[in-house]
Amino acid sequence: MNTIAVNKSFDVATVRKDFPILNVEVHGNPLVYFDNAATTQKPQQVIDTLNDYYRRYNSNVHRGVHYLSQVATDAYEEARLKVSKLLNASSSAEIIFTRGTTESINLIAFSFGEVFIHEGDEIIISTIEHHSNIVPWQLLCQRKKAVLKVIPVLDNGVLDLEAYRGLFSEHTKLVAVGHISNALGTVNPIAEMIATAHAHQVPVLIDGAQGLPHGKVDVQSLDCDFYCFSGHKMYGPTGIGGFYGRMSLLEQMPPYQSGGEMIQDVSFACTTFNEVPYKFEAGTPNIADAIGLATAIEYLEKVGWDAIAKYEQELLRYATEKLTLEGGITIIGTAPDKASLISFLIDGVHPLDAGTIIDHFGIAIRTGNHCAQPLMDRFGITGTIRASFAFYNTFEEIDRLMAAIRKVKQMFL
């Protein structure tokens, strides 16, 4: 008997009509998609935008004088402006388009690192980072003979802020930390962490791959120096994302790649680079998907950021209570402030085995280390089962997950 009180005021039925993939059947069952931390599904409006671009005004941008090029350029730059307004950047020129968060972090690690990181300098990251916010800094430290320092994590999945404050020294040159853990759902207190770093005159990069999908971000209020994001995590196309960068830093950073668009003047003697943001966008950009990202942002604004956040928290609470009441399940990461994501283990069952069986019920969940292997090592496990929820998910779908989990337990225990 269900004794958990839920607020079903959010009109999820109407929202679900916008996502055609939710009508798909998997193994003879209606799809339940709980892998939203990996990538989100796309509303019909985004799909239509991509189709419209390729059918009506496909053209290269910026340098063309013909009509189609001008239309494409306007739409592409409007997408940059849309992202700028979403993040409350002081200028759209502070928005650099990339393929996503991973490329954004790599770009910054290379370009910022070339200018600001030297032998003996220190970079601070955390134990709960995605590999994409670990490996680029390791490579930078190897190139520059710098030192990587790591914020420990407490048993509940919360970063040890006292230890964080103790990591700073006169050699600290950057803090790179995630907004939300993709493996645990922990929402890091990034405003406090940024303030601590700035008190030491240290800039901060925020990996926002999991942060931006769950609510608006104000980079001016946060006072962060870089904020990276991926479009496909926020209901937009794959292959598009970017980052906000503080203009004073962007102007000092060298280009990451070279070629067309990022140049102002070329001769065999020397090359003069274009202004920001174009200095960092070599070659033909991902025009269609940038425009699709703008549509995704418009869609999220129409649904309502506050309504999305409230409903996702209701899903999280419902799933957490269901899993806790079930017994024989261990939740990994019990931070008091979490996004709509749960990592857990079924006692005595390997996550891969559980995920394979759950898939046969038409339920998409993620198993493994979630590209957070050092975090798994910290908890002494090889991986978890991860269910991550979006605003098109339902309480009934969580009930279906629980029924599948019971079937797993019956088969193995």
pLDDT > 90? residue 29: yes
Of the two residues 266 and 18, the one the predictor is more confident about is: 18
Paired strand residues for 264? none
pLDDT digits (tens, 9 = 90+) for 286-307: 999 999 999 999 999 999 999 9
How many CB atoms within 10 Å of residue 196? Answer: 18
Q: Which of 195, 199, 200, 252 is nearest to 224 (CA)?
A: 195
Within 8 A by CB and 6+ apart from 7, the residues are 314
List of residues 6+ apart from 36 with CB closer than 8 A: 213, 233, 340, 388, 389, 390, 393
pLDDT in tens, 152-182: 999 999 999 999 999 999 999 999 999 999 9
What integer pLDDT is reported at residue 51 of this predicted model? 98
Phi and psi torsions of 300, nearest 5°: -60, -40
Q: Which residue, among 130, 285, 282, has the nearest Cα to 205 in the 3D structure? A: 130
Residues 70-101: tens digit of each pLDDT: 999 999 999 999 999 999 999 999 999 999 99
Would you say residue 268 has pLDDT above 90? no
- Sketch the domain layout of the chain as residue ranges: 12-43+304-412, 47-302
**Least reliable range by pLDDT among 10-24, 258-272, 365-379:** 258-272
For 197-254, the pLDDT digits (tens) are 999 999 999 999 999 999 999 999 999 999 999 999 999 999 999 999 999 999 999 9
- DSSP states of 315-336: HHHHHHHHHHHHSSEEEE---S
Tokens of 335: 């931070």
Structure tokens at 19: 């996502």
- Class level of CATH domain 12-43+304-412: alpha beta
**Other beta carbons less than 10 A from residue 323's beta carbon:** 21
pLDDT class for 275, splitting at 50, 70, 90? confident
In contact, 254 and 107? CB cutoff 8 Å: no
Residues making up the chain, counted from first to last = 413
Contact, 25 vs 224, CB < 8 A?
no
Owner of token pair 């048993």: 155
* Residue spans of alpha helices (H) in 188-264: 190-199, 219-222, 247-250
16 alpha-carbon distance from chain centroid: 22
Q: What gap in Å lies between CA 405 and CA 413, rounded to an integer?
A: 12
Helix (H) or strand (E) holding 364: strand 363-364
Model confidence, pTM: 0.96
Instruction: Please report the pLDDT score of residue 7 as a whole number.
Output: 55
**Cα separations in angstroms, 70 against 76, 99, 146, 259:** 10, 23, 46, 21
Domain covering 47-302 in this structure, CATH number: 3.40.640.10
Among the listed residues 303, 297, 298, the one whose alpha carbon sits nearest the alpha carbon of residue 391? 303
How do beta strands 29-30 and 25-26 pair?
A: antiparallel
Q: How many CA atoms lie within 13 A of 136 on its CB side?
A: 24
**Which residues are paired to 325 by β-bridges?**
none
Token reading at 306: 């506050």
Encoded tokens for 303: 């649904």
- Beta strands across the sheet bearing 226-230: 95-98, 241-245, 226-230, 204-207, 172-178, 122-126, 147-151
Confidence of residue 270 (pLDDT cuts 50, 70, 90): confident
Active-site annotation holder among 224, 228, 270, 371: 371
Q: What's the mean pLDDT in 343-348?
A: 97
**Quick check: helix, strand or coil at residue 293?**
helix
Q: Virtual CA dihedral for 355, 358, 360, 362, nearest 10 degrees?
A: -110
Half-sphere exposure of 247 (CA within 13 A, CB side): 11
371 is catalytic: yes
Segments of 134-266 assigned E as strands: 147-151, 172-178, 204-207, 226-230, 241-245, 263-266
Report residue 4's pLDDT band, with 50, 70 and 90 as the boundaries. low
Helices 395-412 and 305-326: crossing angle, nearest 10°?
30
pLDDT at 14 over 70: yes
